[in-house]
Amino acid sequence: MRKKIKMLTHAAVIAAVYVILTHLQNFLLPGTTTMAIQFRLSEALCVLAFFTPAAISGLGLGCFLFNLTSGSALPVDFLVGTAASTLSAWAMWGCRNVTVKGFPLLGLLMPAIFNALLVGWELYAYTGVSFWVNALYVFIGEAAVTLTLGSGLYYLLKKDNLYKRILRPEP
């Protein structure tokens, strides 16, 4: 029971931080979190999926809540974006031990891949602009955040096992 409460708490905190960061960024830099090439700084939190499965539901819920409360999201973005975030976090958790010389490249690309495919399709459905163009734009924005800020956060959490003190995963 205690483990379930801890997981729920971690997921809720991750979701809340995601929503707050994304709304703050959208307030300070309008459009940067909702355009075709978007740089949601909160997507750096995806790296938490390497350290705790609670990030899967936390990131999905955070994306859902932001897209639901954002006035500039497309009508079904709360479903499509949530699916992309949840699937990418799940894939990151699954490949958390796959690294290239200690760098989790494959995992860091999962949000870019899933968002490119799903959100790229969504943008194509609404705009009629080529699926591949939309997918490329979404991929660029997502990969830029996860490979830069996400990598930095990943190494910060790995340094001196900081993630163990913050997330306290079960043995």
Could you tell me which of 168, 143, 145 has the C-alpha nearest to residue 157?
Answer: 168
User: What class does CATH assign to 2-167?
Assistant: mainly alpha
pLDDT of residue 170 exceeding 60? no
Q: What is the pLDDT of residue 169?
A: 54
pLDDT in tens, 61-96: 999 999 888 876 677 888 999 999 999 999 999 999
Domain ranges, ordered by start, for the chain: 2-167
pLDDT single digits (tens) 105-146: 999 999 999 999 999 999 999 889 999 999 999 999 999 999
Residue 54 in contact with residue 11, Cβ under 8 Å? yes
This prediction has a pTM of: 0.91
Contact between residue 146 and residue 49 where contact means Cβ atoms under 8 Å apart: no
